[in-house]
Chains A and B, each alone.
Chain A
Amino acid sequence: EAGVTQFPSHSVIEKGQTVTLRCDPISGHDNLYWYRRVMGKEIKFLLHFVKESKQDESGMPNNRFLAERTGGTYSTLKVQPAELEDSGVYFCASSPIAGLNTDTQYFGPGTRLTVL
């Protein structure tokens, strides 16, 4: 079974530019999460989708961040315009909505974002 995949693995952009990160969850997982770790800090929650609906977006830092999950499959996280403090590693995770291990979140490899 394929795990969570994220694209790109690394992105370097200049301040003010736009970047879009993509996450493909494990097939059949209706829960999709975004987290990020900025330098020297712990991993922090950004938001949670259940299928195509935003269940919890309490961790989104500001309105420069826009997450979508059209059709309830893959998700994108857009940062526009990017600021220096947005640099960090963005992780996506997914979990099933029913059956075994519904609480366990499985993480992707992350996208390292560098804003210059």
Chain B
Amino acid sequence: EDQVTQSPEALRLQEGESSSLNCSYTVSGLRGLFWYRQDPGKGPEFLFTLYSAGEEKEKERLKATLTKKESFLHITAPKPEDSATYLCAVLPFSGGYNKLIFGAGTRLAVHP
């Protein structure tokens, strides 16, 4: 069964303290892996798509990487405005269907 596990569930950082969030996945065939950011009361906001092992994407203080079994979201020198829940989702190869499978998310709190 296709599955996504994110760790840790929650992470508290001091401003400027870099860290990484993990997304482990089990899928019959990976079509794409997605990172979203979600603020309280809002919908998931798209950050990155990764398609193949070794691929990396960067945006401001965030960098996403992908291996055959997991993805990491690296946060460099975070600021309080980076506080949010970060969601990982996979899109399996499944005959043309586009069903995203989400992890439970990592709640990140960055304190000044």
Q: How far is the CB of A112 from chain B (nearest CB, A)?
A: 8
Bound CA span A71–B60, Å: 40
Using A104-B49, A110-B43 as known contacts, say yes or no to A43 and B102 having CB atoms under 8 A apart.
Answer: yes
Q: How far is the CB of B48 from chain A (nearest CB, A)?
A: 10
Indicate if A72 sits at the interface (CB-CB under 8 A).
no
Which B residues lie within 8 Å of A74 (CB)? none
Bound CA span A55–B97, Å: 7
Bound CA span A59–B25, Å: 20
Chain B: CB-nearest residue to A9 = B41
Which A residues lie within 8 Å of B91 (CB)? 103
Q: Do residues A33 and B104 form an inter-chain contact, with CB atoms below 8 A?
A: no
Cross-interface CB contact of A45 among B41, B43, B101, B104, cutoff 8 Å: B101
Which B residues lie within 8 Å of A103 (CB)? 31-32, 49, 91, 98
Which A residues lie within 8 Å of B97 (CB)? 48, 55-56
Indicate if B99 sits at the interface (CB-CB under 8 A).
yes
Q: Do residues A106 and B46 form an inter-chain contact, with CB atoms below 8 A?
A: yes
Interface residues of B in 11-45 (CB under 8 A from A): 31-32, 34, 36, 41-45
Indicate if A114 sits at the interface (CB-CB under 8 A).
no
Indicate if A64 sits at the interface (CB-CB under 8 A).
no
Knowing that A43-B87, A43-B100, A107-B43 touch, tell me 14 more A-B residue pairs with CB under 8 angstroms.
A33-B98, A35-B100, A48-B98, A48-B99, A58-B99, A91-B44, A95-B98, A103-B49, A103-B91, A104-B34, A104-B46, A104-B49, A105-B46, A108-B43
A-B contact pairs, 5 of them (CB 8 A): A45-B101, A48-B97, A55-B97, A55-B98, A103-B32
